[in-house]
Amino acid sequence: MSSTQNQAPETGTARVKRGMAEQLKGGVIMDVVNAEQAKIAEDAGAVAVMALERVPADIRKDGGVARMSDPNMIEEIIEAVSIPVMAKSRIGHFVEAQVLQSLGVDYIDESEVLTPADEVNHSDKFAFTTPFVCGATNLGEALRRIAEGAAMIRSKGEAGTGNVVEAVRHLRQIKNEIARLRGYDNNELYAAAKDLRAPYELVKEVAELGKLPVVLFSAGGVATPADAALMRQLGAEGVFVGSGIFKSGDPAKRAAAIVKATTFYDDPKIIADASRNLGEAMVGINCDTLPETERYANRGW
Amino acid sequence: MTDAPVIGVLALQGDVREHLIALAAADAVARPVRRPEELAEIDGLVIPGGESTTISKLAVLFGVLEPLRERVRGGLPVYGTCAGLILLADKILDPRSGQETIGGIDMIVRRNAFGRQNESFEAAVDIKGVDGDPVEGVFIRAPWVESVGARTEVLAEHEGHIVAVRQGNALATSFHPELTGDHRVHSLFVDMVRANRAPESL
């Protein structure tokens, strides 16, 4: 179309939002709470950092309402590193998202780790130039977020536990539901869309592609190199690591080790080498002892 | 075709899958490569988009940086997009401490020159050597080429900034044709790989 030749460059398109996430694939995105940690993460080979005030393990410990981080802290982190910087808004708190966009973050995570601001609605993500990543525990939830404009999905897991079991559950759930759709004929896709509570067009697209139309990462509970490699082998295109790094004994070493294992996720010898002498992992929480009200994965609808 | 060239995509990190699809559509046999020994088996190499600092660190860490330099110096056809363009530059204007490149194109690049993600954009780009309509340029936190040496040919500019170059067997673009479904730039590269292979296979 030669008519495009004279058009002004266009920002905030679906292609640049989703395409940005494509560039992160195969990588590790690390939670950091200050510029110093951000540099450690960058030096270890992180593809991006998530700027937040407290890692999920501390949010759990401290209790209270968890909100968007201080703009000063986010700006310091943007200044400190050259890799992309993400930051979290509360679910449905579109003003926090507007603030994050004005700060120039590269991605907004509308996150269940923070205390939800709206118990019915998520933010309209099409209203932003900055792309959004959202959590999901199953395919229907992922597609509802994409329908609202999310340009990247992460399986939720259970943040701040250091326990990978929920991450595995949610990723398997999403993958299994995609595989099931692949086997449906066209007649069945309408009812499937109804069951998934997701738009028919998206359901049909997933059935044809055999994958989500956006990048799928895994999050919530990855604490070791083997955990990261496990999520990759299960089909995650990359991993978020939150408390697992900076709540461990030797963050720089563990961060680099998780990056290695994420790249060579199908090579047990490299994962073994990466796993040697890492010092203490974060202590971790058994998810079956977590009361329902403290399960972050239940937040979001 | 039995004589389809084998083209690797450096699979340390980034949008590897999209390049594999684009290369296959342009009639090449495409495969991911991560290890030094895998480099020996390819006729050409794509360095994908991704995070240039991350890819460069992983390349050092896993011992592929030197083998890559050797093969590129030896004339292996290479094509880099975005982060890949940075990795093919002889010089980065504003490198992170210790950030290394493979080199191969006599140029100086500026990382994230077009801005952060909020400034990422799409625009039509006319590329020398690509017939027909302009390609849809997808620029994501994209670099530009600040200056080129005498042996480097400028193939495209956007608003006065160099965004596509070629030097001998090395091709690089600031933008991501692999994200558009238009495979003409990949076809251009596959032709370069075929031309390079032709004399010895006769």
Give tens-digit pLDDT for A206-235.
999 999 999 999 999 999 999 999 999 999
CB distance A130–B49 less than 8 Å?
no
Whether B172 has a pLDDT exceeding 70, the answer reads yes
Q: How many CA atoms lie within 13 A of A203 on its CB side?
A: 23
Whether A69 has a pLDDT exceeding 90, the answer reads yes
Nearest CA in chain B to A20: B140
Q: Which of A17, A88, A125, A247 is catalytic?
A: A88
> What average pLDDT score do residues B23-49 get?
96
Which one-letter DSSP state was computed for residue B159?
T
**Catalytic residue list contains A88:** yes
CB distance B13–A263 less than 8 Å?
yes
Residue type, B55: I
A113-137 residue pLDDT tens: 999 999 999 999 999 999 999 999 9
Helix (H) or strand (E) holding B112: none
- Is A176 within 8 Å of A140 (Cβ atoms)? no
How high does pLDDT run on average in chain A? 93
Please state the ipTM of this predicted complex. Answer: 0.94
Nearest alpha-carbon partner for A241 in A79, A91, A40: A40
> What average pLDDT score do residues B12-23 get?
97
Whether A282 has a pLDDT exceeding 90, the answer reads no
Whether A287 has a pLDDT exceeding 80, the answer reads no
What percent of chain A stands above pLDDT 90? 82
> What average pLDDT score do residues B45-50 get?
98
Q: Which residue among B13, B50, B124 sits closest to A5, beta carbon to beta carbon?
A: B124
CB distance A16–B124 less than 8 Å?
no
Banded pLDDT at B2 (limits 50, 70, 90): low
> What average pLDDT score do residues A75-104 get?
97
What are the strands of the beta sheet with A10-11, ordered from one edge?
Answer: A10-11, B121-125, B135-139
Cα distance between residue A17 and residue B121, in whole Å: 9
> What average pLDDT score do residues A57-69 get?
89
> What average pLDDT score do residues A29-36 get?
96
A130-157 residue pLDDT tens: 999 999 999 999 999 999 999 999 999 9
> What average pLDDT score do residues B148-153 get?
97
Domains of chain A: 14-298 (3.20.20.70)
Contacts of B65 in chain A (CB under 8 A): none
Residue A108: its pLDDT value, please? 98
Banded pLDDT at A4 (limits 50, 70, 90): very low
Banded pLDDT at A3 (limits 50, 70, 90): very low
Structure tokens at A96: 């926090």
**DSSP states of A62-121:** H-S---PPPHHHHHHHHHH-SS-EEEEEETT-HHHHHHHHHHT-SEEEEETTSPPS-SS-
Residue B1: its pLDDT value, please? 47
Tell me which residue has tokens 């994965």: A297
Helix (H) or strand (E) holding A56: helix A56-62
Name A35's Cβ contacts closer than 8 Å, sequence gap at least 6.
A76, A77, A79, A80, A81
CB distance B116–A260 less than 8 Å?
no
Residue A243: its pLDDT value, please? 86
Find how far residue A5's CA is from the centre of its chain.
Answer: 36
Banded pLDDT at B180 (limits 50, 70, 90): very high
In angstroms, the separation between the Cα of residue B109 and the nearest Cα of chain A is 15
> What average pLDDT score do residues A186-212 get?
97
Residue A280: its pLDDT value, please? 79
Q: Considering the entire predicted model, what is its pTM?
A: 0.95
Residue B202: its pLDDT value, please? 47
CB distance A7–B124 less than 8 Å?
yes
Q: Binding residue per annotation — A221? A: yes
Whether A86 has a pLDDT exceeding 70, the answer reads yes
Residue A238: its pLDDT value, please? 98
Q: Binding residue per annotation — A284? A: no
**DSSP states of B66-90:** HHHHHHHHTT--EEEETHHHHHHEE
> What average pLDDT score do residues B33-37 get?
92
Residue A61: its pLDDT value, please? 86
Whether A279 has a pLDDT exceeding 90, the answer reads no
Residue A251: its pLDDT value, please? 93
Residue A217: its pLDDT value, please? 98
What percent of chain B stands above pLDDT 90? 90
Nearest alpha-carbon partner for B165 in B114, B83, B89: B89
In angstroms, the separation between the Cα of residue A148 and the nearest Cα of chain B is 19
